[in-house]
Structure 1
């Protein structure tokens, strides 16, 4: 395993495992992140505040009044070496509803035309794959998921939108994502997911996490509205779309 250490000011350092988007790199990042959390909870990392995982790296933030770079790095070195044996199978499995109809799918026809297949085939391709959540970023709860089936791998839109509606399910390059909030965006919009991906009131505000796996289940516009109404009235729990979760033994591995 190769890695490099990058300084990020006087209160953070980044461990970079590679330069590409790859499940093997994600496994190393997640294994290190979990190991740091365990050490922190055991009181063995004084001064370490939090971590920030990405596709290929982990940034560790620390309080320079309590510890320093060398002390943090000395504790991290054996954890980094052990991260080589990280597994991508520890995440949860989700089946999230997506409406691929009408206003929910403003770019569906354009994507179908660009790759020379029918709209139904685009939906079948997108909903027929299982996606790995590589990281959460850009917006709170925003999941970068891969890998898209090859025919759907299009560059970003030439003209980004000023406003992308919350819940929009989008694709770009080899990735797919769900916008948890209204925001600008340049990805192609294929549908809409009615399940909220971020809620600050939850113990874990982000519904999805790096290492999770997601499948999309097509639903009609009417079903989508019914789900939204049920979620708004608290009659439906977002966790009902959790298909399976790792056992405590798997989590500890």
Structure 2
């Protein structure tokens, strides 16, 4: 069982903070705890929000009986089992790395000291686990970016980044699911939608799923219905 500390976070929430370093194993435990708490139907329970190394529990203010909820949550955590790897799905995401869709590709390659072709190869040959969703609806926080591709965020964020933009920021990579301001370096673009509000689960993936980026040509990109 992962080591944790349980705190009062607000007048209607608790937060569980885990001591272990960010990892797939910790994410599996956090999601196992989320599932156990959801199934327990604690009085006044509203939502459990997972992050890299924490789990936020939100309750209805009128039902927020601190001592009872602290005790019941601790009992559930002590019995929690990690989510099984078999409950994850792999998603292949087509990405066009053409310079017309990748304004920062040359900059990131220069920062890494490698040709752009090598950058594309390194970026697309990894399997990226989804640790959490956040920042924007459907934005996937992915792990396992090759260290050679780590690059500080832009000094001047763009006021608008198109939906589908594939980018690198610090030691992470990801895809902007909707148009928004952004400070990550854009190295490509996917023609598929990462977020569909008409689906029961709007985001294309969930925590513990894995993402594979598949390079496509500009011609192939333009064949999609944008």
Q: What TM-score, normalized by structure 2, do the two folds share?
A: 0.92
* SS of aligned partner of 2:223: helix
* SS of aligned partner of 1:27: helix
Distance 1:64 1:22 in 2: 33
Query: Going by fraction, where is helix more abundant, 1 or 2?
Result: 1
Q: Structure 1 residues 136 and 85, CA, compared in 2 at 3 Å: closer, same or farther? A: closer
Deviates more, 1:127-136 or 1:26-35: 26-35
* SS of aligned partner of 1:129: coil
1:34 and 2:49 correspond: no
Q: Write out per-residue CA displacement over residues 149-194 of structure 1, whole angstroms, 9 at most, x where no aligned residue.
A: 1100111122211111111111122211110111111111111112
Q: How do 1:28-67 residues align onto structure 2 when only pairs under 5 Å count?
A: 28-40=29-41, 45-67=42-64
Q: Which runs of 5+ in 1 are unaligned?
A: 233-253
Distance 2:19 2:167 in 1: 26
2:66 aligned partner: 69
1:132 aligned partner: 129
C-alpha contact 2:93 2:214 (8 A) present in aligned 1: yes
Q: Which runs of 5+ in 2 are unaligned?
A: none
C-alpha contact 1:95 1:216 (8 A) present in aligned 2: yes
* SS of aligned partner of 1:177: strand
Q: What TM-score, normalized by structure 1, do the two folds share?
A: 0.83
Q: Structure 1 residues 156 and 83, CA, compared in 2 at 3 Å: closer, same or farther? A: farther
C-alpha contact 1:18 1:25 (8 A) present in aligned 2: no
1:236 aligned partner: none
Q: How do 1:77-156 residues align onto structure 2 when only pairs under 5 Å count?
A: 77-83=74-80, 85-88=82-85, 90-156=87-153
Q: How do 1:149-228 residues align onto structure 2 when only pairs under 5 Å count?
A: 149-227=146-224
Residue 114 of structure 1 deviates from its aligned partner by 1.1
Distance 1:188 1:159 in 2: 11
Residue 105 of structure 1 deviates from its aligned partner by 0.9
Residue 60 of structure 1 deviates from its aligned partner by 0.7
Deviates more, 1:21-30 or 1:170-179: 21-30
Residue 20 of structure 1 deviates from its aligned partner by 4.3
2:4 aligned partner: 3
1:247 aligned partner: none
* SS of aligned partner of 1:124: helix
Q: Structure 1 residues 199 and 220, CA, compared in 2 at 3 Å: closer, same or farther? A: same
Q: Structure 1 residues 21 and 104, CA, compared in 2 at 3 Å: closer, same or farther? A: farther
